Amino acid sequence: MPHEMTVDGGHGADPGPAPRVTTATPWFVPPLQLLPLAARRCLVRNPLNGAAMELSSGEYAFLSACEGCLSLAGHEARAARQLSAPPEHRQAVRELLERCARQGLLMPLPDLVARFGPAQPVAPLPQPDIVIRTADRPRLLHRLLQGAVTLQSRAGCAYRWHVIDDSRHEENRRANRSVIEHCAALGAVHHDLSLPASLEAELQHGLPQLGEEIRRLIAAPRGDELTYGRPINYLLLRFAGRRLLVLDDDVMIDPRRPALSRPGVEVSLAPEVAYWYESADAALSACPALELDPLAEHARWLGLPLAQAWTQAEREPGGLRQVDVPPSCGASFAADARILFTRNQVLGDPGWAKFASALLVLAPETRRWLGANSHAARYPFESQIHWRGRVALRVAPHQTLSTTTLTGFDNSVLLPPTARSTRGEDVLLGAVARCVHPSGWQAELPFALPHLRDAPRDWLRPDGKLAFEPSLLLIRHAGALLPAIRADRAAARMRTLGAGLLDLATANDSKLRDMLEEQAIDYVAGIRFSIQEQLSDPSLPVAWQEIVQRWVDSPMFKLDRASLRASMPAPEAVRSEAQHYGRTLQAWPQLWDYCRERFA
């Protein structure tokens, strides 16, 4: 009986003085714990403060329909809408929420923020090292370093620059050295990963018992192997214990603001916004240049304890304008919470190699923009020039990590490695970091850096073949393991996750196929659902609906078993990836500690 409202006084643990119930205060819904007591009675507990109340099944139904951080009136309206409550029940819902607020089941935002601890004065953090990843693209490296010289001259600030060179061809390594010499004002250090006297050789000598794991992380590529993650693993070890800002070589240091922007700081998990343009020139015209130092903007947030970051957010122009996070983020409000990653937005190539669901799953803001700009419907696939990211400064529990343009890593604490040769190496690193540091946060800065390629990518078309990377199942499995990891220290959490992936590697083919099929169903069904929503949205232009109709009709997004299994990697590929990555996670804390002492 979901609408039965039995109103009683409730009882349970006293969390302390009852909070003052006001109409304007935002109230957070924590991840409530439920203990059945009788057929229609249950004990509900707030694990963040220990408060507990006995509720009827109808009362719990209304309480569980609340989500986010809203005023009590906002929660009342949401719960009534979710459960289609008749008007005569609204008063009972209001009284229930007020009672839950007084007893501590709901938390006022100030109490939630107080879990960060007091904002103590913080000594200035050391300047971060700036690290560029490059591989066989000396012309693009030259463009980036010229922009760095201009930035340092304009900002009057000298940074420590490093070039991590994973080039396969000697002529490109020579060209990279020449480019670095030409931009001598930077004093950039060239890290040639092909040299025999490498970090790998040093680690093999110092930690011979971890020889196989070291090879899997940073050894030279074998044949035509693509080693997307190798430079990341190298820089996390070489600069262990330090803050890092990491750029790809095809980025331009030319900060741009979005065509549509909002003042203030948001705390939310809202999806990224996308705007599309006919050409790079049109995008640069629509997104004006900003007079700011993007490196300094990242450094301002990277590594801050959340108590300081929250105070800093409140002082930003426009203030802290929105806080809306789901119950699962309650654990992120903790005394050890800190900004682990920073990232800005991308203007130009969004960074996808073949296909990304974000091409077809549109954020509400993108839908509104597209409805007002129907001429842009053909741009995302034809020109591949996007603004993608945030239109306001956002601070949130870290989600998907992206290294497409400029990314900050707080490597002063133990961050995980990534797989050396899989696509989506940054996404995997971010997902594992969430398991290792469940109270880690990310600051997303509301400007973009241009990410411009010489030629468009060869993206999949509706008649193409969808192919999942083995690492996607590792990401999904890590998320499933997160609630069961009980250790407090990052190293112990990392080793526990590694053990969980090694267990995955022992699964038989039938079990792995079932897991891969479930993953494929979730992915394809999510895209089909989003497309069907768009097809029924009269505000979207007909031209766009015709495009997405071709995708939903394509063989790529069919839900029959044969089509799903055709997109799945072989079980042995997943098993191999899980085994190798699980072993490196278990070895990584010792490697990282060794490098932190060696390069301090």
DSSP 134-155: ESS-HHHHHHHHHHHHHHHHHH
Mean per-residue pLDDT over the chain, rounded: 92
End-to-end Cα distance, the chain: 63
pLDDT of residue 156: 86
- Provide the pLDDT for residue 512: 97
Beta partners for 131? 162, 246
pLDDT of residue 12: 41
**What crossing angle do the helices spanning 211-218 and 571-598 adopt, rounded to 10°?**
100
Give the Cα separation of 127 and 108 in Å (integer). Answer: 36
Residue 9 has pLDDT above 80, yes or no: no
Q: Which of 38-52, 214-228, 340-354 has the lowest mean pLDDT?
A: 214-228
Q: How far apart are CA 413 and CA 402, in angstroms?
A: 19
What are the backbone angles phi and psi of residue 545, rounded to the nearest 5°?
-60, -35
Inform me whether the pLDDT recorded for 10 exceeds 50: no
Q: How confident is the model at residue 7 (pLDDT cuts 50, 70, 90)?
A: very low
pLDDT at position 19: 57
Q: Is the pLDDT of residue 166 over 80?
A: yes
Strand-pairing partners, residue 191, are 164
Helix (H, G, I), strand (E, B) or coil at 412: coil
Residue pair 540/371 in contact (Cβ under 8 Å)? The answer is yes
- The SS3 of residue 534 is helix
CB 428 within 8 A of CB 472: no
- Confidence label for 8 from pLDDT (cuts 50, 70 and 90): very low
Calpha distance 241→412 (Å, rounded): 4
Mean pLDDT of 132-148: 96
Mean per-residue pLDDT, 274-282? 95
From residue 204, how far is each of 216, 428, 444, 571 by CA, in Å? Answer: 12, 25, 37, 31
Model pLDDT, residue 21:
60
Alpha-carbon distance values, 400 to 267, 312, 432 (Å): 15, 23, 10
Torsion of CA 246, 249, 254, 257, to 10 degrees: -60
For CA atoms 584, 585, 591, 595, give the dihedral sign: positive
Of the listed ranges 4-13, 51-60, 420-429, 567-576, the one predicted with least confidence: 4-13
Strand pairing category for 242-248 and 320-324: unpaired
The token duo for 397 is 């529990």
Q: Which helix (H) or strand (E) holds 98?
A: helix 90-103
Please state the pTM of the whole predicted model: 0.92
Could you give the 3-state DSSP secondary structure of residue 230?
helix
What's the 3-state SS for 242-287?
EEEEEEECCECCCCECCCCCCCCEEEECCCCEEEEECCHHHHHHHC
Lowest mean pLDDT among 114-118, 357-361, 538-542: 357-361
Q: How confident is the model at residue 223 (pLDDT cuts 50, 70, 90)?
A: confident
pLDDT (tens digit per residue) in 387-444: 999 999 999 998 788 899 999 999 999 999 999 887 889 999 999 999 999 999 999 9
Q: Which residue has the tokens 């497309």?
A: 531
Candidates 105, 29, 109, 100; CA nearest to 68 is 29
- Of the candidate ranges 307-316, 331-340, 345-354, the one whose mean pLDDT is the lowest: 345-354
- Predicted confidence at residue 20, as pLDDT, reads 60
pLDDT of 58 higher than 80: yes
d(CA 401, CA 433): 9
Task: Give the side-chain half-sphere CA count within 13 A for 311.
Answer: 12
Contact 469/356 with Cβ under 8 angstroms? no
Site of tokens 């996070």? 325
**Across residues 443-459, what is the average pLDDT?**
91
Q: What is the 3-state secondary structure (H, E, C) of 171-201?
A: HHHHHHHHHHHHCHHHCCEEEECCCCCCHHH
| CB 374 within 8 Å of CB 474 | no
Helix (H, G, I), strand (E, B) or coil at 31: coil
- Report d(CA 198, CA 195) in Å as an integer: 6
Please say if the pLDDT value at position 454 is more than 90: no
6 band by pLDDT with thresholds 50, 70 and 90: very low
Q: How far is CA 202 from the centre of its chain?
A: 33
Matching residue, tokens 């922009």: 147
Residue 62: count of CB within 10 angstroms of its CB:
27
What helix, strand, coil percent values describe the chain, rounded to 5? 45, 15, 40
What's the number of CA atoms in the CB half-sphere (13 Å) around residue 280? 13
Neighbours of 511 (CB within 10 A): 12
Cβ proximity of 235 and 164 under 8 Å: yes
Coil vs helix vs strand at 289: strand
Tell me: pLDDT of 275 over 50.
yes
Task: Give the pair of three-digit tokens for residue 147.
Answer: 């922009």
Give the pLDDT band (50/70/90) at residue 386.
Answer: very high
Using 50, 70 and 90 to split pLDDT, how confident is the model at 5? very low
Are 301 and 122 spatial neighbours (Cβ–Cβ below 8 Å)? no
Most confident of 353-357, 561-565, 571-575: 571-575
The pLDDT assigned to 398 comes to 84
Structural domain boundaries in the chain? 27-110, 129-248, 265-457
Burial class of residue 94, CB neighbours in 10 A (0-12, 13-18, 19+): middle
Element (H, E) at 564: helix 561-566
% of the chain surpassing 70 pLDDT: 96
Both tokens assigned to 492: 């112990």
DSSP 217: H
Whether the pLDDT of residue 495 is over 60: the answer is yes
Q: Which residues contact 386 (CB under 8 A, 6 or more apart)?
A: 274, 275, 276, 277, 346, 347, 348, 349, 350, 380
The pLDDT score that the predictor gives to residue 353 is 82
